[in-house]
Amino acid sequence: MSICEQYYPEEPAKPIIKTKSIPGPESQKQLKELGGVFDTRPAYFLADYEKSLGNYITDVDGNTYLDLYAQIASIALGYNNPALIKAAQSPEMIRALVDRPALGNFPSKDLDKMLKQILKSAPKGQDHVWSGLSGADANELAFKAAFIYYRAQQRGYDADFSEKENISVMDNDAPGAPHLAVLSFKRAFHGRLFASGSTTCSKPIHKLDFPAFHWPHAEYPSYKYPLDENSDENRKEDDRCLAIVEELIKTWSIPVAALIIEPIQSEGGDNHASKYFLQKLRDITLKHNVVYIIDEVQTGVGATGKLWCHEYADIQPPVDLVTFSKKFQSAGYFFHDPKFIPNKPYRQFNTWCGEPARMIIAGAIGQEISDKKLTEQCSRVGDYLYKKLEDLQKKYPENFQNLRGKGRGTFIAWDLPTGEKRDLLLKKLKLNGCNVGGCAVHAVRLRPSLTFEEKHADIFVEALAKAVNEL
């Protein structure tokens, strides 16, 4: 019996589409009602999570879609997963929900166990964790940890703040509020809060009207595909971008204290960074005393066939901070150097200091992935799916440009010739029973759960061939 069959003996055998348009009439009616209290403009349809199961999401019209978008890459184990339902019904969960602790001041007796369980899933080389609430929050907390560490190195880890620092910080002035930068990359997405928003630059709509820090954006490599046929050219591209990174660190108007990078830029178009590029960044960050942060919010928790995507690069020595959220449900950052723990309390602090209910779910997700070997399954299914997509690419080269994600589990993407064609393909895919997302201007990105198997890949490829044929 496959893992999906073990979890979901009742999972639908295939998608069921009952309405001629999506959203269907009932979705439209209920979305209109909801529109009175919520911004429903980005809604695809109104979902019925009670009826959704495994790899299938159902809407209020009774349409049941094979889900390759999975709540913007955030459902690790399918809908209504029995192991997660069991964790959700535990006494610890009830305590976490009903008497939510302000963890910093009043940590619970359950917390030690929860964090140690989360740490079982830490990336290689990392053995500490600090918890946050969302992807953007995780990145902002990581920036704070990086700045605190950077200044502690200059001041001395145990040295106290000067009077000048204490006074100037109250006016948002240096030296208490120092002029320091985080370097990120063009097309990056690290969240929509203020500091994370300054490191994001995938689309103007995420940033317009918000004051931003004056922080540098280096160039992220743009590779030629297939990778194995273009290795010389891609190496030159890596070197070109690395030179820009180093130049920006050396010449930016304010010191660069940290660098943040996605191992695969996801919202920005599924742009991959090579092992060489990610390792060279480690060399550069060490040379210039810059904190190295890897953002695994979207790539993390198994979808690339490893628990953490940057583990493919085996970066040595390990990076300083690794941020997570989405498929782990809980959020935060992993680290290994205790010097990233601030020298005084209340410097990295807020009311909740994380969300224990989400930590319980994260622990259960990590345990299931390990027990059921779901990263191995994701690699196997990804290879199977990739081959099928290569076949489609041969047939429809115009509509399968830059197919990428080979050997990266089901974390697969490709480009359509235009944004209009991509949007049309996504629409037709829905009408053919598959919920799929796009990214950047004209890319399609696949982000199914780790419970996605070969039989689901077959259904998707059949629907895709039909949809492409209709373009």
Answer for which of 295, 320, 415, 453 binds ligand PLP (CB under 6 A) is 295
Closest separation between CB of residue 245 and ligand PLP, Å?
18
Which residue lies nearer to ligand PLP by CB, 281 or 457? 281
Which residue lies nearer to ligand PLP by CB, 135 or 363? 135
Stretch that binds ligand PLP, among 187-195, 225-233, 379-387, 399-407 (CB under 6 A): 187-195
Give the pairing type, strands 291-295 and 271-272.
unpaired
The site for ligand PLP, by CB under 6 A, has a size of: 14
Which residue lies nearer to ligand PLP by CB, 121 or 200? 200
CB 170 within 8 A of CB 143: no
Q: Which one, of 299, 307, 264, 261, lies nearest residue 280 by Cα?
A: 261
197 sits near ligand PLP (criterion: CB under 6 A): no
For the chain, the residue count is: 471
267 sits near ligand PLP (criterion: CB under 6 A): yes
297 sits near ligand PLP (criterion: CB under 6 A): yes
Closest separation between CB of residue 272 and ligand PLP, Å?
13
191 sits near ligand PLP (criterion: CB under 6 A): yes
Closest separation between CB of residue 331 and ligand PLP, Å?
7
CB 69 within 8 A of CB 435: yes
189 sits near ligand PLP (criterion: CB under 6 A): yes
Stretch that binds ligand PLP, among 95-103, 239-247, 290-298, 350-358 (CB under 6 A): 290-298
330 sits near ligand PLP (criterion: CB under 6 A): no
Between CA 131 and CA 101 the distance in angstroms is 14
Closest separation between CB of residue 150 and ligand PLP, Å?
21
Tell me the CA distances in angstroms from 100 to 132, 149, 226, 289, 356, one per residue in order. Answer: 15, 30, 50, 39, 8
Compose the 223-262 pattern: x for residues touching ligand PLP by CB under 6 A, - for all others.
Answer: ---------------------------------------x
Helix, strand, coil share of the chain (percent; to 5): 40, 15, 45
Phi-psi region of 35 (alpha: psi -120 to 50; beta: other; left: phi over 0): alpha
With CB atoms as reference, the residue minimizing the distance to ligand PLP is 135
Between CA 284 and CA 290 the distance in angstroms is 8
Closest separation between CB of residue 278 and ligand PLP, Å?
15
301 sits near ligand PLP (criterion: CB under 6 A): no
Closest separation between CB of residue 70 and ligand PLP, Å?
13
Q: Which one, of 425, 449, 397, lies nearest residue 4 by Cα?
A: 449
Closest separation between CB of residue 412 and ligand PLP, Å?
16
Stretch that binds ligand PLP, among 292-300, 386-394, 397-405, 425-433 (CB under 6 A): 292-300
Closest separation between CB of residue 142 and ligand PLP, Å?
11
Between CA 251 and CA 442 the distance in angstroms is 34
Compose the 31-70 pattern: x for residues touching ligand PLP by CB under 6 A, - for all others.
Answer: ----------------------------------------
Report helix, strand or coil for 322.
strand
266 sits near ligand PLP (criterion: CB under 6 A): yes
Between CA 121 and CA 133 the distance in angstroms is 18
309 sits near ligand PLP (criterion: CB under 6 A): no
Q: Exposure of 228 by Cβ count < 10 A (0-12 exposed, 13-18 middle, 19+ buried)?
A: exposed
CB 132 within 8 A of CB 354: yes
Residue environment code for 175-190, b if the CB has 16+ CB neighbours within 10 A, otherwise e: bbebebbbbbbbbbbb
Which residue lies nearer to ligand PLP by CB, 134 or 222? 134
User: Containing H/E element for 135?
Assistant: helix 135-155
Between CA 269 and CA 201 the distance in angstroms is 12
Stretch that binds ligand PLP, among 122-130, 158-166, 186-194, 215-223 (CB under 6 A): 186-194
Q: What is the DSSP letter of 53?
A: B
Closest separation between CB of residue 264 and ligand PLP, Å?
9
Which residue lies nearer to ligand PLP by CB, 324 or 460? 324
Q: Which of residues 123-152 bind ligand PLP (CB under 6 A)?
A: 134-136, 139
- Give CA angle at 436 (431, 442), nearest 5°: 105
17-22: long-range contacts, CB 8 A cutoff, minimum separation 24: 17/63, 17/64, 17/65, 17/430, 17/431, 17/432, 17/433, 18/61, 18/62, 18/63, 19/61, 19/63, 21/431, 22/59, 22/63, 22/427, 22/430, 22/431
- Cβ contacts of 243 within 8 Å, gap of 6 or more: none
Residues with active-site annotation: 189, 295, 326, 351
Which residue lies nearer to ligand PLP by CB, 217 or 339? 217
Which residue lies nearer to ligand PLP by CB, 206 or 466? 206
Between CA 118 and CA 336 the distance in angstroms is 14
Which residue lies nearer to ligand PLP by CB, 181 or 264? 264
Answer for which of 30, 63, 325, 377 binds ligand PLP (CB under 6 A) is 325
Binding site for ligand PLP (CB under 6 A): 134-136, 139, 189-191, 262, 266-267, 295, 297-298, 325
